[in-house]
Structure 1
């Protein structure tokens, strides 16, 4: 996964090595009586106070790990917001542990639905102010994550929604297809990629699905649509054929998604993605830079999550992160 802060605050790339242990978690927050509170966990075995997190399971992508671990440790189901940093430290085994964190709002409904009870792993949960969290957290690496989170609060951009730009999964090459280009289907690997991105996309709370009407795009979002029980909106306005003919209308599609202010995924084609990312920047008043081009340079099945302010979408892109399927 690559995380890019916008408009140009640099990039942090996760270095995947056999010597590292990867994990993911979240700074879970809510507003109680008009006051911001974040969730700390008191761990039974280690007798410490930390943020909810856990190791990546085989086949998982980091975003779904974060959501799963928060739920397992707290009973609260969340959707991920803005990335808030990566902590690195060495384990007793001398392996490096790398933990990716996101901000994640806990809705009142999600908190009420929690069935948490103290157990062998987690002794207690505690909602505290950011100031109290600084005093209670046991580890300096957690404080670094908290400081990044606090900057979002100070900037007034904590509550966000994602617009996800998704490149269709691996399709049959043109050289192996005799029919119309728009009818090219996914390969077996492409179908596995389409299945593998369902969990990560759901982790960001995606509910709306907009896709090019090309078969390879429709097949890419089919597993997600089934999991969400949602019907995708198919449109030629973001298709490669329309883009090549000069008849595309990316602006209207992107503008509608930004105005809606709801989590959405837009599935299109490699050549079209730079235009889609550019239109998101234009629609939100964001200065364009190399990070926009990088976010559009996606492998088949990969996607970039563009985080926008829920209260002021025109205030610019808050962050962009890119995820690549491991199949």
Structure 2
């Protein structure tokens, strides 16, 4: 017997540093140095975090960023993943994936509409009172635990295996020049909105053409240079990989590294992660703070079920 229908959605706990007001010399306590963004839906008369359902063929991280922008006017980049919420709605169960999210760039002017008529930045203590539903208060508690551990403010490193390439037996040229297949080119294009959802600005790749082409479309879309690192090649050595990863972890700004299946175990070893098998065109998102990994999640295009 089939269970209840599950409706998927995605959103975020969007936060920013809270500055003291100039008038009155208000002091801001440590726990009140962060404020979060809530939305009000007039049709339900409720306060919640911004979220929404995926478009057809859309991955949930991309959904989260798009829905936050549509509901609030804020473009965000995703950070540390948060626990899913699951609750009953008309027609089945609703499962919502959430991330910690930070605004980037200048927001669009918010215009009240039939779906969202107000957005409000509030202190965490105020959000706890304002939120309508228990599942959102539980989500807020998860966020505040990260805030207290300073894990809400992390750096993002995406480790990516190149997309599907021509086989060695079917390629007669130099192995460095072995290209992507047509399905591999499609995989690479589908990675573009995902890389944007995590705000990637720096792109590091093995010198192999199949790696460079996996991230080239995205690099062009943000007018960024591909940085080629021989230490990430298929013919590298563990110590060279380790030096590359140490440097990468120290860099500011979200970064993607595109490399090869034989090289990945050394990458994971350098990050002190358990090795894992990655299909072509997929990877992991590593959220770290001062070199210490605090969360790892899957990275790759997977359309949300509808």
Q: By the TM > 0.5 criterion, same fold? A: yes
| Residue aligning to 1:254 | 245
Q: Contact conserved, 1:54 with 1:65, CA < 8 A, in 2?
A: yes
* 2:77 paired with 1:79: yes
How far, CA to CA, are the matches of 2:302 and 2:81 in structure 1? 20
| Residue aligning to 2:288 | 308
The secondary structure found in structure 2 opposite 1:174 is coil
Q: Structure 1's 32 and 211: CA in aligned 2 closer, same or farther, altered over 3 A?
A: same
The secondary structure found in structure 2 opposite 1:257 is helix
Q: Structure 1's 172 and 31: CA in aligned 2 closer, same or farther, altered over 3 A?
A: same
Q: Contact conserved, 1:299 with 1:324, CA < 8 A, in 2?
A: no
* 2:26 paired with 1:32: no
| Residue aligning to 1:269 | 260
How far, CA to CA, are the matches of 2:197 and 2:286 in structure 1? 14
Q: Contact conserved, 2:11 with 2:96, CA < 8 A, in 1?
A: yes
| Residue aligning to 1:231 | 225
Q: Structure 1's 248 and 18: CA in aligned 2 closer, same or farther, altered over 3 A?
A: farther
| Residue aligning to 2:30 | none
* 2:98 paired with 1:116: no
| Residue aligning to 2:7 | 21
Q: Contact conserved, 1:213 with 1:235, CA < 8 A, in 2?
A: yes
Matches within 5 A, 1:1-327: 19-33=5-19, 35-94=33-92, 96-106=93-103, 109-110=105-106, 113-240=107-234, 242-243=235-236, 246=237, 249-281=240-272, 288=273, 292-294=274-276, 297-309=277-289, 313-314=290-291, 316-326=292-302
Structure 1 segments of 4+ aligned residues over 3 angstroms from their partners: none
The secondary structure found in structure 2 opposite 1:82 is strand
Shift of 1:301: 0.7
Higher helix share: 1
Most deviating of 64-73 and 130-139: 130-139
Q: Contact conserved, 2:231 with 2:244, CA < 8 A, in 1?
A: yes
The secondary structure found in structure 2 opposite 1:121 is coil
How far, CA to CA, are the matches of 2:57 and 2:16 in structure 1? 30
| Residue aligning to 1:8 | none
Q: Structure 1's 307 and 247: CA in aligned 2 closer, same or farther, altered over 3 A?
A: closer
The CA RMSD over aligned residues, in Å, is 1.9
- TM-score (norm: length of structure 2): 0.89
Shift of 1:267: 0.1
Q: Contact conserved, 2:5 with 2:91, CA < 8 A, in 1?
A: no
How far, CA to CA, are the matches of 1:300 and 1:19 in structure 2? 31
The secondary structure found in structure 1 opposite 2:173 is coil
Q: Contact conserved, 2:194 with 2:300, CA < 8 A, in 1?
A: no
Q: Can you give the 5+ residue segments of structure 2 that lack an aligned partner in the other structure?
A: 21-32
How far, CA to CA, are the matches of 2:280 and 2:48 in structure 1? 37
Q: Structure 1's 248 and 184: CA in aligned 2 closer, same or farther, altered over 3 A?
A: farther
The secondary structure found in structure 1 opposite 2:76 is coil
Cα-to-partner distance string for 1:233-258 (whole Å, 9 max, x where unaligned): 11221011x23xx4871122212111
Q: Which one has the largest radius of gyration?
A: 2
How far, CA to CA, are the matches of 1:261 and 1:234 in structure 2? 18
